[in-house]
Amino acid sequence: MYKVFVNDIPMILSTKKNYGDMYTSIPIKTAKFNQILKKITDGELMYVNLYHEKEEKLLKHLFKKLPLVIAAGGMVINDKKEILFIYRNKRWDLPKGKTEDGESIEDSAIREVMEETGVQDLEITGFLQKTYHIFKRKDKFKLKETHWFEMSTSYVGELVPEHKEGIKKVKWKDFTKTKKALTKSYANIKLLFPKQFLTADPKDRVA
C-alpha cells in the first residue's frame, strides 16, 4: 500500500478492490488521472483507492500516468538532538530538492540541504523512506518522488535560508518545538516522524 498526496489529501494505492465504504475504488490501470486530480483539488472527491491485484504494478502504472520528478532531502539532527526545519509557503518543511542529471540520490540530498539552509559538514546516517505527492506546474500535474535521509552534523554556524527558493526562515527545533512545527507542516512530512512527535502530550515521548 502506498499513499500519494494531493495537497494534504492522500490517494491510496492498494491491492484491495474494496478499501472501505468511504473510498471510491478505481482500477489504477484505467484511471483517468486528470479527472480524478481535478475533482480532488476542487474538493469534490476526498477518498480515492486506486487498486491493482499485483502490488508491484501499482507504482509502475502510476509512473506511466504522470511525469515523474525525482527529489531528495534530509532530516538533519545536530549534537543537541535538534531537527533542522525550513519555513516556506507558510508551512514548516524539511529541506529537499530536485535531483540533477548524473547526480546520485545521496549527493543530491546533501547538496539540497546545504543550498537551502547553509548547514555544512553533513553526514548521511540512514535512509528514512520515499514519499510521493502530486503538484501542478504550467497546468500539468506531475508526481514527485522524494528520497529522504537521516543526517547528522556538528555545524554551529549561521543558518542561511535560500530566498530565491522562497524559503523565509531556517531553524533548529527541539522536541517540543518540532511537535508544534508539525501542526503547521505537510502530511507527507509527518510520515517521516515517529508517533511521539505527533501526539498531543510531550510526556508520551519515547526515550
Domain definitions of the chain by residue range: 2-65, 69-204
Per-residue confidence of the chain (207 residues) as pLDDT tens digits? Answer: 999 999 889 999 999 998 888 899 999 999 999 999 999 999 999 999 999 999 999 999 999 999 999 999 999 999 999 999 999 999 999 999 999 999 999 999 999 999 999 999 999 999 999 999 999 888 899 999 999 999 999 999 999 999 999 999 999 999 999 999 999 999 999 999 988 887 755 444 433
Query: Which pTM was predicted?
Result: 0.90
Query: Of the CATH numbers 3.90.79.10, 3.30.70.260, 3.30.590.10, 3.40.50.2300, which one belongs to the domain with range 69-204?
Result: 3.90.79.10
pLDDT of residue 20: 84
Half-sphere exposure of residue 146: CA atoms within 13 angstroms, side-chain side: 28
Q: What are phi and psi of 120, to 5 degrees?
A: -115, 180
